């Protein structure tokens, strides 16, 4: 029997009002408004996203190569694309409750992948991609404390998304070998995290992209040309302070740079 008692709109309103500063940030959602499974968490997240604005991208990740992925839609007001090579994106630190940074690979969609009955093959998904670039995701929360909530409340809160900064990369998507790709995360001119090869626990990002096209994005209309899909942290989350300069460098591929003013 479907669960008719849970109200995702009311849960979403708590998160939206906290983000907008219209009410104090709660330590957690009220007990009766906490999602109890992934379906309820996504219902809340979708309501948050629809209130927030146009979908400009997605984040998708998984705990292991075999684990079920999870996603969050990213709205236009939280996605920033560098306008030139080695140009830093500047964001006001005061706009975030938490400044957690991660180096990630982001893929640009050049074609729509709308919901359909027949699953998209990995080759079809790959053919829809027109670039792969370095990125920095800023992790944040609409709650009063970081990581004190259960996994469903965090998923409802756009999976702790704060901002996405897209840097440079390549249009030769087929030439990129993610599992052999190194990454350096720099914080104020010092290397905070370094991996000689892929540091993302989810494994091949194409599996994540295919899941997103075939399942994860359906409730919000599927994937669309011009959207960005960031495929999970390659470095873990590093907490930084206001005034910090962060660089995600993927040697041989590209880099993204962010300054918290």
Question: pLDDT over 70 for what percent of the chain?
Answer: 98
Would you tell me how many other CB atoms lie within 10 Å of the CB of residue 130?
14
The answer to whether position 247 is within a domain reads yes
Instruction: Say what the pTM is.
Output: 0.95
Strand partners, 175: none
pLDDT score at 120: 98
Kindly provide the b/e burial profile for residues 21-60, where b requires at least 16 CB atoms within 10 angstroms of the residue's own CB: eeeebbeebeeebbbeeeebbbbbbbbbbeebeebbbbbb
pLDDT score at 134: 98
Residue 244 is part of a domain; what is its CATH number? 3.90.850.10
| Contact of 56 with 74, CB cutoff 8 Å | yes
The answer to whether position 42 is within a domain reads no
The answer to whether position 242 is within a domain reads yes
Q: How many domains is the chain partitioned into structurally?
A: 1
- Residue 118 sits in which domain range? 54-260
The answer to whether position 118 is within a domain reads yes
Residue 78 and residue 56: Cα distance in Å, rounded? 9
Q: What is the pLDDT of residues 93-141, one digit of tens each?
A: 999 999 999 999 999 999 999 999 999 999 999 999 999 999 999 999 9
Three-class SS of residue 137?
strand
Q: Record the tokens describing residue 45, joined without a space.
A: 């997240």
The answer to whether position 221 is within a domain reads yes
The answer to whether position 89 is within a domain reads yes
C-alpha torsion 254→216→203→253, nearest 10: -10
The answer to whether position 40 is within a domain reads no
Residue 59 and residue 246: Cα distance in Å, rounded? 20
Q: Could you list the pLDDT tens digit for every one of the 261 residues in the chain?
A: 344 589 999 999 999 999 999 999 999 999 999 999 999 999 999 999 999 999 999 999 999 999 999 999 999 999 999 987 778 999 999 999 999 999 999 999 999 999 999 999 999 999 999 999 999 999 999 999 999 999 999 999 999 999 999 999 999 999 999 999 999 999 999 999 999 999 999 999 999 999 999 999 999 999 999 999 999 999 999 999 999 999 999 999 999 999 999
Three-class SS of residue 148?
coil
């Amino acid at each position: 029997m479907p669960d008719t008692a849970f109200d995702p709109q009311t849960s979403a309103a708590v998160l939206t009002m906290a983000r907008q500063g219209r009410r104090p940030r709660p330590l957690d959602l009220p007990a009766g408004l906490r999602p109890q499974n992934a379906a309820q968490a996504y219902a809340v997240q979708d309501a948050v996203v629809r209130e927030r604005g146009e979908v400009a991208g997605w984040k998708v990740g998984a705990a292991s190569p075999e684990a079920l992925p999870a996603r969050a839609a990213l709205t236009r007001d939280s996605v920033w694309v560098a306008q030139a090579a080695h140009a830093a994106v500047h964001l006001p630190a005061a706009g975030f409750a938490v400044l957690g940074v991660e180096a990630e690979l982001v893929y640009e969609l050049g074609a729509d992948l709308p919901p359909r009955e027949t699953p998209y093959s990995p080759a079809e998904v790959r053919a829809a991609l027109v670039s792969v670039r370095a990125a920095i995701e800023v992790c944040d929360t609409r709650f009063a404390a970081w990581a004190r909530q259960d996994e469903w409340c965090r998923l409802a809160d756009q999976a702790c998304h704060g901002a996405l900064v897209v840097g440079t990369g390549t249009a030769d998507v087929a030439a990129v070998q993610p599992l052999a790709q190194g990454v350096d995360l720099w914080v104020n001119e010092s290397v905070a995290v370094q991996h000689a090869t892929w540091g993302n626990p989810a494994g091949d990002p194409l599996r994540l992209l295919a899941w997103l096209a075939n399942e994860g994005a359906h409730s919000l209309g599927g994937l669309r040309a011009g959207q960005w899909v960031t495929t999970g942290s390659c470095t873990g989350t590093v907490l930084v302070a206001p005034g910090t300069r962060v660089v995600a460098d993927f040697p041989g591929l590209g880099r993204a740079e962010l300054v918290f003013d």
